[in-house]
């Protein structure tokens, strides 16, 4: 039997946001590989081996997946959200580039998913409705100076901005510095969305002006979205709705 690897996005949490394409890959898989909480989302069944691993071992996990596929296994590497956005797809290709030549002949597919920023944006309205950028605020793999440079240029370009991994126990201070950069470049009223665990029972949504944004409003399960200069909030009986007009 011919092996393959599918790097699949499970979306933000709600099973109704998993595409049929990803569901079909999981149904056809012999092995599922991924970070512990993502593998925990996969229902066990006969003939399916689950390989859960810890955070920060992405390259090992990718190599394991490629090695199993080379042995004829049908491997799904699971990511939350979309695998191509700050997730396992890049790690897999890094491992492919560094690995043995015969891996390059493998059948490797990336199956897109609903990424966190788009789930969060949909929940809040349409804050990413015009030109925007996505920035990973973690400085585990890149210098903080580069993050800060991108924040300044993104503000100057007047992009709406989506921040992944804004804050963690290991990185408690970076997001506070990011907010400081924004305060020096954006108007006080600039709306900021804190969207935590969107589409799960733990979902929390908050929309505040930049002056009221506080570092502790974010954790690792939070997407932060900052509007452009034209982003507006509409008050409704069902709560505030934020959107960026098409002319922004």
Tell me whether residue 74 or residue 150 sits nearer to a second copy (CB atom): 150
- Least CB distance to a second copy at residue 198 (A): 9
Binding to a second copy (CB under 8 A): which residues in 63-102? 82-87, 89-94, 96-97
Asked whether 113 and 81 are in contact (CB, 8 A), the reply is: yes
Q: How far apart are CA 25 and CA 33, in angstroms?
A: 13
Which member of 45, 104, 176, 211 binds a second copy (CB under 8 A)?
Answer: 104
- Least CB distance to a second copy at residue 236 (A): 4
**By CB under 8 A, residue 228 contacts a second copy:** no
Tell me whether residue 53 or residue 90 sits nearer to a second copy (CB atom): 90
**Of 131, 215, 123, 217, which Cα lies nearest the Cα of 176?**
215
Q: How far apart are CA 226 and CA 190, in angstroms?
A: 7
**By CB under 8 A, residue 56 contacts a second copy:** no
- Least CB distance to a second copy at residue 138 (A): 10
- Least CB distance to a second copy at residue 113 (A): 8
Instruction: Map residue 121 onto helix, strand or coil.
Output: helix
73-79-80-84 Cα dihedral, nearest 10 degrees = -130
Instruction: Map residue 218 onto helix, strand or coil.
Output: coil
Asked whether 34 and 79 are in contact (CB, 8 A), the reply is: yes
Tell me whether residue 1 or residue 105 sits nearer to a second copy (CB atom): 105
Q: Which residues lie closer than 8 Å to 107 by C-beta, 6 or more apart?
A: 2, 3, 4, 5, 69
**Residue 101 phi, psi (nearest 5):** -55, -35
Which member of 66, 76, 78, 108 binds a second copy (CB under 8 A)?
Answer: 108
Tell me whether residue 30 or residue 136 sits nearer to a second copy (CB atom): 136
- Least CB distance to a second copy at residue 176 (A): 20
Which member of 1, 43, 46, 105 binds a second copy (CB under 8 A)?
Answer: 105
- Least CB distance to a second copy at residue 211 (A): 23
Residues forming a β-bridge with 190: none
Tell me whether residue 158 or residue 214 sits nearer to a second copy (CB atom): 158
């Amino acid at each position: 039997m011919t092996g393959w690897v599918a790097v699949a996005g499970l979306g933000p949490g709600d099973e109704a946001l998993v595409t049929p394409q990803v569901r079909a890959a999981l149904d056809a898989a012999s092995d599922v590989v991924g970070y512990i909480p993502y593998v925990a989302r996969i229902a066990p069944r006969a003939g399916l081996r689950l390989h859960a691993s810890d955070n920060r071992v992405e390259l090992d996990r990718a190599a394991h997946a490629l090695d199993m596929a080379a042995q004829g296994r049908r491997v799904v590497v699971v990511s939350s959200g979309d695998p191509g956005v700050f997730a396992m797809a890049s790690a897999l290709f890094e491992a492919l580039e560094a690995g043995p030549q015969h891996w390059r002949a493998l059948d490797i597919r990336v199956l897109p998913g609903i990424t966190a920023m788009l789930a969060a944006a949909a929940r809040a309205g349409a804050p990413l409705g015009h030109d925007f950028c996505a920035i990973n605020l973690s400085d585990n793999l890149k210098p903080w100076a580069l993050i800060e440079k991108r924040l300044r240029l993104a503000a100057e370009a007047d992009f709406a901005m989506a921040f992944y991994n804004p804050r963690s126990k290991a990185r408690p201070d970076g997001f506070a510095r990011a907010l400081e950069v924004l305060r020096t470049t954006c108007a006080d009223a600039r709306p900021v969305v804190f969207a935590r665990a969107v589409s799960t029972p733990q979902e929390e949504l908050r929309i505040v002006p930049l002056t009221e944004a506080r570092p502790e409003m974010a954790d690792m399960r939070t997407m932060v979205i900052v509007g452009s200069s034209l982003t507006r909030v509409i008050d409704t009986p069902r709560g505030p709705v934020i959107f960026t007009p098409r002319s922004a």
